[in-house]
Amino acid sequence: MPSRRTLLKGLALAAAASAVPLPALAQADYVPPLHQMRGMWIASVVNINWPSKPGLTAEQQKAEFVAWLDVAVQRKLNSVFVQIRPTADAFWPSPFEPWSQYLTGTQGQDPGYDPLGFAVAETHKRGLAFHAWFNPYRVSMQSDPAKLHPDHPGRKHPDWILPFGGKLYYNPGLPEVRKFCQDAMMDAVTRYDIDGLHFDDYFYPTNTAAFDDSATFAKYGAGFPDLASWRRNNVDLMVQEMQQRVLAAKPDIAWGISPSGIWRNKATDPLGSETSGGQSYDGLHADTRGWVKKGWLDYIAPQLYWYIGQPPADYAKLVPWWSDVASGTKTLLWIGQAAYKAGDPAQAAQWQAPGELSSHLTLNRKHPEIGGDIWYNANDVKVDRIGSITTAVNDHYQRPALAPVLPRLANGEPPRRPVLAYALRRSGGVEVRAVATGRDEPFLFAIFRFDGHASSEAFADARNLVAIVPGDRQVRWTDPDGKRGDHYCVVAVDRANRTSKPSNGFRVI
């Protein structure tokens, strides 16, 4: 594995590109934010991203994951969302569910190392946040319970699972299932140093009785007008209780969901969006708008996987709708972006334009409620078929950005003000040395460069931010664009992305 010095060198090279002027597209009055979600999803189900296939050795799996982190750094991201419970299984030694088959090819087989522990540690070495991505109810991508591991909960409790559409699911209507799923996920939350607990967009698989939970409805559905209302309440309970359990166990981590992008269509509900696509409220029994309004989430990241102007679901109409939903709440709004559609020959002509995704982020700027984006999926962020990711990065990620601060953590104790020991000219540029003060080691250091002395307001945005580097008791970093006369200051950043007061300034002579 690379040393911290090697990592800092790589981050310095990545940051060098961040110091160039903003393009014309950015507009002269645009102020780059200090905090912005820049994430990507790394999927494990059916080996979409990592591991790329089952049965790789532990060292091969480790190398693949590190390569994904390299992609994140290259694309100037600050967070990864890694799927560690794709089908009621685990990417860590869980006492609740078996090892995932996507690791070794055999469910229950030990991969020879702790993938989650390794992934979290390597992510943090690079100054990135690690969000643990869970699928709450999916048990298997095939429909035969006998093919589950003999010790699988679905084998021990066959009444817990239901088949539908060639797959198996836990029955969300059973209180014991809801508690078990929470226990299984909270095991990872409490045992690992993760930065967030993340659900994807799969809840109930259908809004019909073909998902046969009629016996459960007969037992627990009293007082509900219909099956759909009862199912929706079951999902509500999962969401609300997960919030309560996260707050009780680890209140410093983020809890959020990335649902499908349409809550309800306006033709169905006057509160809905001007769309005519599948409705999560009705189809998946997921009241995504309600969760935001009730304050049950730290953030919501709707998957707005449509191009601007798309008839059934126009990105340009959904963005203001979601912004209005989030407005006035304490739920942060991030947008799920369809990197996988850009340049795909099977997609519409609009997705063949390299600037489509960049245009999405330009549109987002008009809505201050939007605090960033998450890209799906990692492979498309890496491959960048028609240069769409490069275009978006060049247009919008010219400055580094810290991940967002959760509103409920914003007033917490900030990190101690660091000391800037020196800023000296070297053969490769200007080397700065930041030193932590106080007991806690910063998670990151944010390095600012100015033409002259800076006011305290100059640290509120990223106009003068030249690099974000992993924290330590002390860090050396070289600015390849630094020169005589430049002024430097350093800010310490904690795991909640709170920032310290700026360090002392240092002028390069």
Neighbour-count burial of 350, counting CB atoms closer than 10 A to its CB (0-12 exposed, 13-18 middle, 19+ buried)? middle
d(CA 336, CA 346): 20
State the pTM of this model: 0.94
Phi, psi for 115 (deg, rounded to 5): -60, -40
Say which amino acid occupies 345: P
- Asked if residue 235 lies in contact with residue 172, where contact means CB atoms within 8 angstroms, the answer is yes
pLDDT at 27: 58
Phi, psi for 351 (deg, rounded to 5): -80, -5
Residue 99 in tokens: 């090892």
Q: Which residue, chain included where needed, has tokens 């993760």?
A: 194
Each of the 509 residues of the chain gets a pLDDT tens digit; together they read 444 444 454 444 344 433 333 444 445 689 999 999 999 999 999 999 999 999 999 999 999 999 999 999 999 999 999 999 999 999 999 999 999 999 999 999 999 999 999 999 999 999 999 999 999 999 999 999 999 999 999 999 999 999 999 999 999 999 999 999 999 999 999 999 999 999 998 999 999 999 999 999 999 999 999 999 999 999 999 999 999 999 999 999 999 999 999 999 999 999 999 999 999 999 999 999 999 999 999 999 999 999 999 999 999 999 999 999 999 999 999 999 999 999 999 999 999 999 999 999 999 999 999 999 999 999 999 999 999 999 999 999 999 999 999 999 999 999 999 999 999 999 999 999 999 998 999 999 999 999 877 787 899 999 999 999 999 999 999 999 999 999 999 999 999 999 999 999 999 99
Q: Which of 246, 177, 286 is nearest to 406 (CA)?
A: 246
d(CA 201, CA 257): 7
d(CA 431, CA 419): 14
pLDDT at 453: 75
Say which amino acid occupies 107: Q
DSSP 342-388: TT-TTS-GGGGSTTHHHHHHHHHTT-TTEEEEEEE-HHHHHH-TTSH
The CB density around residue 59, as the number of other CB atoms within 10 Å, is: 10
Secondary structure E strands in 225-343: 254-257, 299-300, 332-338
